[in-house]
Amino acid sequence: MKKHLLLLTLVLFFAVAGCSEQSNLSGTMELRVETEHFLLYSYPEDAQVAELIAATLEEEYPVITSQLQTELPEKVGVSVYPNMDLFRRAINDTSTGDWVTGVAWGNKIEMISPNNPGTAPAADEVTRVAVHEFTHLVVAAINPTAPKWLNEGVAVYYGKEREESKIRQLVMSKLEKGTLPAIRQFETSSQAFFEQDGYSIAYSIIDFIVSRYGTGALVGFIQHPTDYDRIFGVDEDSFVNAWKEYIEETY
């Protein structure tokens, strides 16, 4: 009997805790900002942050679409969620790690509010997550089956949500320890890719491609991700060696 009471108390506690989080929200998720290329939805409390995200996205839109030579045919909807719970419910994934702060699919971006980003990232990093996710939509328009590492590398490159000096330090130390993965060793599940520092490592490959070969070659590679010889003039192994030399020289 006691056990049942305890369980009931616990259930009630979580129900009330869940409700109180809900009831702190005033109003509903609504369209707050419409710009040339984006539609920003949020709760009233995130209206200001929606303005900031829209401005950041519009600033980056011409850079990303011109360098990747791809325009999106429709305005992109961006939904900003006021807490982790609502965000996870929206993306239908209640078990995702705290480091997941945005997703992109179809013509939409779902993201956590920079006002309440949870434990992992800083607020300005979360604003840049919108740019990271937008880049995924552009990559998907070029090649919907681009490999994960390439897709994420390009998104981190244009998203700039991670501090570049920290990325460089991390990748350099992996090179020194001899623990940089070969391209075919990149994990394909998000959690495993995160744990192998795939985001930073993939960024360094995209950085290498753009500085050595230019954004035109990057677009060609997104279209044909196995065509090393034609796009870079060398096979995959030589490409990887040249990337490591680039890190050694410039990171």
Cβ contacts of residue 69 below 8 Å, gap of 6+?
A: 215, 216, 219
Q: Which of 84, 150, 155, 206 binds Zn ion (CB under 5 A)?
A: 155
Stretch that binds Zn ion, among 3-11, 88-96, 107-115, 150-158 (CB under 5 A): 150-158
What phi and psi, each to the nearest 5 degrees, are found at residue 98?
-60, -25
CB closer to Zn ion out of 14 and 105: 105
DSSP 190-231: HHHHHHTTHHHHHHHHHHHHHHHH-HHHHHHHHHSTT-HHHH
Q: What are the structure tokens assigned to 184, written together?
A: 């075919």
Distance in Å, CB of 170 to Zn ion, minimum: 17
CB closer to Zn ion out of 193 and 243: 193
Burial class (CB in 10 A: 0-12, 13-18, 19+), 58: middle
DSSP 83-133: SHHHHHHHTT-TT--TT--EEEETTEEEEE-TTS--SSS-HHHHHHHHHHH
Stretch that binds Zn ion, among 53-61, 70-78, 114-122, 148-156 (CB under 5 A): 148-156
* 154 is a site residue for Zn ion (CB under 5 A): no
CB closer to Zn ion out of 47 and 96: 96
Cβ atoms of 69 and 135 closer than 8 Å: no
Separation between Cα atoms, residue 223 and residue 154, nearest integer Å: 13
Cβ atoms of 70 and 138 closer than 8 Å: yes
Name the residue whose CB lies closest to Zn ion.
155
Distance in Å, CB of 159 to Zn ion, minimum: 8
Distance in Å, CB of 34 to Zn ion, minimum: 25
Stretch that binds Zn ion, among 37-45, 56-64, 153-161, 190-198 (CB under 5 A): 153-161
Q: How many residues bind Zn ion (CB under 5 A)?
A: 2
Residues 11-30 interacting with Zn ion (rule: CB under 5 A): none
Site of interaction with Zn ion (CB under 5 A) = 152, 155
